[in-house]
A and B are shown apart, each in its own frame.
Chain A
Amino acid sequence: MSHLRRVPSAAWICALIACLNAVCWSVITPPFQVPDEPSHFAYVQTLVENGRLPTAGTMPSEEEQVALRDLDNKAVKWHPENQPVTTQEEQLRLQHDLAGPLRRSGPGEAGVAASQPPLYYALQTIPYELGSSGTILDRLELMRLLSALMAGITALFAYLFVREALPGVAWAWTVGGLSVALAPLLGFMSGAVNPDAMLYSVAAAVFYVLARAFRSGLTRRLAVAIGVLIAVGLLTKLNFIGLIPGVIVGLVVLARRAAGTLGGAAYRSAALAIAIPASLACLYIVINVFSGHPGLGVVSSAIHLTGRGSVLSEISYIWQFYLPRLPGMVSYFPGISTTRQIWFDKSVGQYGWLDTTFPVWAENIALIPAALLTILGIRELITVRATLRRRIAELAIYALMGAGLMVLIGADQYVQSLLKEGETYAEPRYLLPLLPLLGAALALSARGAGRRWGPAVGTLIVVLFLAHDLFSQLQVISRFYG
């Protein structure tokens, strides 16, 4: 409790704002109109009703089938010209059908969600059970509210990370924390049933604990916290694997630093941090082997598939997935600037089943504040270059964590493109585990305006994010209810 009392009230307010924002998104976004939400719901329903983990088929329970049918899910998904329930008659039919005796235990299939680890879904069984006397829509909303709580945790740790990583200027922490709290994509994803919501929280906590260790040294308590967080992350979503190489290298660097004062105890702490998730991984392998599955589960097939193309081709693909093609590289993305047209434009806004975006002119206008913020950030980096040099190892660790996640996503896309004739699913939400870094970058941008104008620029940055959030909500409202 004393640790909680030491958390500044500003961090709690950022958490509250993120939570409220995600609650809004949970109500605005129609049921099952978020990527893969039907599958994620089916996972939880299988855990509760069938008492086991789901398989990869795509047949949901009768109850979910009826809800998807009455909500016109298929006709609305990817069709911005169509809308869900629009008349009182359709609403009455929906209520009537969902009130009927519908089977909740289906074949226990959860489609794309089935390959994910179970922790998030296990937690979601709590709101599912709490709403068990209501309809599927009641339970879905309660589950979305649990995700919204996780948005609060993400913003809390993002604030704390900025405070640890940029301790010099206190007002800038609020700029970073509030901007993360108001990020519309965080609200959208955390206003839905999707393990991404928990992945963002765990990743933000990892960033914070690492930053704390870099600032105050690797203690046994922090090492245990890092180990437990890695384990929780691994049990939340497989994408967390991308962060692990950076965290492990970070532990080695921290242990070497602490060895000067703590001696061998520093290395033992680092080993403990690695042993906690490693023992979990061993347990997972043992369970898989004894149940007749590949030792590494779904990771085994991913490793098998990723060797299909040549290593150089894969590196080239991953590079071009994010950055402009270099001379000599075969073009995997002809006619498109992935940096601009995939990652930047889609970050401006992509909601619903990725079918709700801003008009092109809005994406073009967004380049202006993005460029200004980048210039201010670079200005500040030049100003504090001496500090940067001193903390280069720490920065390299954060960069490695980001690169690890991006490589993992790129490698997965490479495999998908080989299997499905170049088919590409690039979604900015995959990069949201790096939100704490965005918070720090925005805090740096505000500082880049100088001591006199920095707070005013920081204020405008927060207002910009608030506006982005409000107009994103309006965009979704106009698409589904306009």
Chain B
Amino acid sequence: MTSVRIALAVGLVLVAAALGVVVSSSPVSVAGTNAILASPAFVYASGDSHRCQPGGTVPTGTTAVRISASANIGPSVTLKVFSGSHPVTSGERDAGWGVDETVTVPVTRVSRTIPASTLCIAFGAAIEPFEIKGAQEPTTTAGGPIGESLGLRVEYLRPGHASWWSLASSVAHRMGLGHAPAGTWIVFLLIAIMLTVTALASRLILRELR
């Protein structure tokens, strides 16, 4: 019985500590884009393909890159960002992402702002054709424009400055909108319910597990 009490206490303290760590962290936010607008235009792509395109300015502190690609079960994505011919950052996302209209690839943190970057994306073998989204961009060579191709929209993400904790009141306000029952009070109701759930489960554990 003592071991159950200790396990329960340790477990709940660890959960509370993890919650504290999470709410002290900052949500990621969009720090920049490659200036290609989000648009419904898309082309189908097959797996095992590779493309490079202008990446615009990569903001300092970028830790993830969100690409406008859509799949039910997406292929693996390998992403490299270059400044000239020098690699700046890279990352990989395993196959299996989706269902989404975007895929986020974590990358090693970018330590300084990189202007006029080049972005190269390689898609692995795919189960199904997937969509890449963006806008038609002129394709140019040294001799001038030769046509158009679809430029992939890319967003650069990094942790914001405000912690979840400092955003709590605005999050609570939004939680009270858009459904019934409405009002910020429902957040307190949710907290009360989950505390009741935790108390009931703990009590049952202490009563039954011996």
Provide the residues of chain B in CB contact with A332, threshold 8 Å.
Answer: 127
Which of A445-469 touch B at CB < 8 Å?
A: 452-453, 455-460, 462-464, 466-467
Q: Which residues of B contact A329 (CB under 8 A)?
A: none
Q: Is B209 a contact partner of A175 (Cβ separation < 8 A)?
A: yes
Answer whether residue B32 sits at the interface, using C-beta atoms and an 8 A cutoff: no
Is B186 positioned at the interface, with any CB of A under 8 Å from its CB?
yes
Within 8 A of A (CB), among B1-55: 1, 3-4, 6-8, 11-12, 14-15, 18-19, 22, 27, 30, 47
Q: A84-B178, A423-B72, A424-B127 are in contact. Are A459 and B96 (CB under 8 A)?
A: no
Per-residue A-contact encoding for B125-137, CB less than 8 Å = 1, 0 else: 1111100000000
Tell me the complex Cα distance, A20–B201, Å: 12
Whether B209 and A336, one on each chain, are in contact in the complex, defined by CB atoms closer than 8 angstroms, is no
Within 8 A of B (CB), among A59-98: 71, 78-81, 83-88, 90-91, 94-95
Name the distance in Å between A325's Cβ and chain B's nearest Cβ.
Answer: 13
Contact, CB under 8 Å: B177 / A463: no
Known A-B contacts A81-B102, A355-B99, A463-B11; A170 and B208 likewise in contact (beta carbons under 8 Å): yes
Bound complex: CA of A203 vs CA of B129, how far in Å? 36
Instruction: Report whether A481 and B171 are in contact in the complex, using a CB–CB cutoff of 8 Å.
Output: yes
The reply to whether the CB of A182 lies closer than 8 angstroms to some CB of chain B is yes
Q: Is A17 an interface residue (CB 8 A)?
A: yes
Residue of A nearest to B95 (CB): A336
Name the A residues within 8 Å of B178 (CB-CB): 30-31, 71, 84-85, 90-91, 94
Residues of B139-164 at the interface with A, using a CB-CB cut-off of 8 Å, are: 155, 164
**Closest A residue to B172 using CB positions:** A481
* A359 nearest CB neighbor, chain B only: B106
With A and B bound together, what is the CA distance between A473 and B180 in angstroms? 18
- The number of chain A residues touching the other chain, given as a range, is 35 or more
Residues of A within 8 A of B7 (CB): 455-457, 459-460, 463
Interface residues of A (CB under 8 A from B): 10, 13-14, 16-17, 20-21, 23-24, 27-28, 30-31, 71, 78-81, 83-88, 90-91, 94-95, 134-135, 137-138, 140-141, 170-171, 173-175, 178, 181-182, 332-336, 340-342, 345-346, 353-355, 357, 359-360, 417, 420-426, 452-453, 455-460, 462-464, 466-467, 470-471, 473-474, 477-478, 480-482
Chain B residues close to A by CB (< 8 Å): 1, 3-4, 6-8, 11-12, 14-15, 18-19, 22, 27, 30, 47, 66, 70, 72-73, 75-76, 93-102, 106, 124-129, 155, 164, 167, 171, 174-175, 177-182, 186, 189-190, 193-194, 196-198, 200-201, 203-205, 207-210
Pick the 7 closest A-B CB pairs, nearest first. A341-B96, A463-B11, A335-B125, A85-B178, A334-B125, A422-B128, A137-B180
